[in-house]
Each structure stands twice: as C-alpha cells, then as structure tokens.
A and B are shown apart, each in its own frame.
Chain A
Amino acid sequence: MENDKNSQKIVDYIQNFSRKHSLFVLAYGTGCGAIEIPATMTSRYDAERFGIRGAATPRQADVLLITGYLSTKTLKRVIRVYEQMQEPKYVIGFGSCTINGGMYYDSYNTINGLDQYLPVDVYINGCMPRPESVISGFVKLQELIQDGKANNGEKYRENLEHYRTNQKKIIKNWKMPDYNW
C-alpha cells in the first residue's frame, strides 16, 4: 500500500516535470500587450529555453495567455477558445487591464477582472509588463504545476454554474456550443 503511494508520487513528479517544461502557449492578443510577445519569444529573452513556445490552435495549447483588455465582444470568443482547450489547461492574465480594468475601468464595453469569468492561474501586473515579468510569470506557473496546484481546468468544471452566471450577465444572447470535456 505504501509502495503504491510512493510510486504514485514518482509518477506525479515525472508527469508534472514534463508538463512544466513543455508549455504550448496560445497568445490571445487582445490589447496592446501582444507586442511584448515577440520580444519575449525572440533571441534576446528567448522564452523557449523554459520550454515555452507558441501553439497554433486552442486544441493544441496548454496555456491561454490573454494580453490586455477584454471587450465584452472579445470575452465571448475567449470563452469559446478556453472551452475548446484540453486539460491540463492554464490561464495567464497579462497586464493591469485583466486584473482590474486598467485605464479602461469605466468603459462601457471592457470587463474589469478576468477571474470572474475564467479561472486565472497567474496574473502578471504592469502596463505593459516587460519580457522579464512575462518570463517571471511563466516561471511562477511552472512552480505551481510542479507542486500540483495548477488545476484550474477542474475548478472551472466544478464551478461552471458560477462562471456561467457571470458570463451570461455580459453575453445576454447566449448562443454558444456546449463542449463536453
């Protein structure tokens, strides 16, 4: 019995280790933050040495990187993208706009606070965050994955009711497909 526990520990360790070193990022460039992504990926900061690289489609991605403000119209697309992603999946909110609305806090069509609509693993603050902060945020996410604490995909499924209520407050005409994960 104890042997089982220990071997499970080892399996988990290896699983988390390999997960954290191959993060395929879907950069959802909504606002001005998208301009920091090329700088992070290219030779000067070279994010690929941490195993961070771009993914082509939501279904192949692990991390959804939301760079900047989200208008109510974009939120609909982001939710669809997030629900298409396969577990394990993580969300990184990037820039102060995703945290509290930033400079668009009183706008009629940008949301304040992404974590009311999607479960966010790591927030990177700044307006704009520099590539160092972006990499620091990713390293934080890697730590969470190694400790087995980054399980927000599960959290989203369990609290779907709560998130749906908030989402439907914004998206009044709800005509979205249901994905069964």
Chain B
Amino acid sequence: MTDLVKENKLLDAVSQAFKIKGKVIRNRRVEVYADKNMVSSILLFAKKQLGYIHMAHMTCVDWIDQGEFELVYTIYSPIEKITLFVKTRIDRENPEMENIDSIWDQANTYEREMREMFGIEFPGLVGEHDFILEDWDQIPPMRKEFDTHKYSAETFFSRPGREDAKEVRDELSKRSGTIVPDFAKKYSRE
C-alpha cells in the first residue's frame, strides 16, 4: 500500500541514536529491541524528541523456556499516528526493572499489576502490595509454572458430573426419543 516512509524514518531515528535493532511490523507499527538499562532513556527520547507522548500500555510476557520475562512498552504519537513498541528481556530468577513512573504517571498502575501478577520488582515503586488480589499466599498467578487448574481443584469445591454431562445427555435423549451424539466426549477438555 504505502512504502512505510514514516515508519522507517522513526526506526532509523531510534536505532541510530541508541545503536539497537528493530523492525517495522506493518504500517503504523514499529518495534525496537533494547537492553534493560536503555529502556528509560529510549522512552524519554521518544517522548521529548519524537513526540511519542502517550503511553498506551505496558505488559509482560513469560518466556519460561528461555528463563526470561519480556517487558513490552507501548507508546503512541498522536501526530505521527504510529505505535512504537519497546521490548526488553529481563532475567526470570530475580526479576527487577527500572521504575518509569516519573516519565508517565500511569506506568505506576501497570507496574503494580506486574509486581503482583508476575513478581517483578520495581525499586522505588509507591503503592500497596495488595492491588487486585486479596490474601494471596501462592506464587504470582500469571507465571507459567503456576498450575491454575490444580490450584482451583484444591481450593474450590467442584461439582461432580461436569466432566461428561452424562445425566444431561440421558435426560435429553429420554425427552426427545433420539440418541444424542457423544459430543461431550468429543469436545471434552481431556
């Protein structure tokens, strides 16, 4: 469609200023891969110099096989109408990341959520430790090693009969006088 002029210009500006790699995903989507220590300066540079004044989102991906967390900072320029993703990898064992809520205030909320859901520490982060969860005494629930099915089976009371729904199928076939196909088995969770 277009030849992605604006996107390539942005990628060049960021990658030349910081000597980092990146790529243009499609029109209006650009991502760069940065080292952990460079993230705050990239964000500040993008905010002050390039006009990426809006922080849209900040999230975390758990790469358990590689032993890393990937943090994704999503920022947006209302003038250029481009979304820039700044991605960085941090260690999974002692996850710690720089606190950026002095650049954008709303980062505080995302960082508190990540502290609770993934156990990532942000030094200097203000706010109570109980954010969304209450009385949580397990490992952070969004980590991939947390077995939510097992936890649910241990903590909550499951009602018998939901595995195959046989009673319901028998009742249905009795009422309609036909044999109901074994769809529950076909689509069962096992």
Contact = CB atoms under 8 A, between A and B. Distances in A.
B152 A173 contact: no
Contacts of A116: 157
Interface string B130-141: 001111011001
Contacts of A172: 135, 137
A108 B135 contact: no
B57 interface: no
B94 interface: no
Nearest to B156: A112
A34 interface: no
Given A105-B162, A106-B148, A108-B148, A113 B134 contact: no
B148 A112 contact: no
* Size category of the binding interface on chain B: 10 to 19
A4 to B, nearest CB: 44
B159 A100 contact: yes
A73 B153 CA distance: 18
A92 B137 CA distance: 31
Nearest to B150: A106
A109 to B, nearest CB: 7
A170 B162 contact: no
A105 B153 CA distance: 9
Interface in A89-145: 99-101, 105-113, 116
Given A72-B134, A73-B134, A172-B135, A107 B159 contact: no
A19 interface: no
Nearest to B152: A106
A113 B159 contact: yes
A100 B162 CA distance: 8
B178 interface: no
Contact of A108 (B134, B141, B157, B159): B141
Nearest to B168: A125
A169 B151 CA distance: 13
A166 B135 CA distance: 15
Given A106-B148, A106-B149, A106-B152, A112 B134 contact: no
Interface of A: 72-73, 76, 99-101, 105-113, 116, 166, 169-173
18 contacts: A73-B132, A73-B133, A99-B159, A100-B158, A105-B162, A106-B153, A107-B148, A107-B152, A112-B156, A113-B157, A113-B158, A113-B159, A116-B157, A169-B155, A170-B156, A171-B134, A171-B135, A173-B134
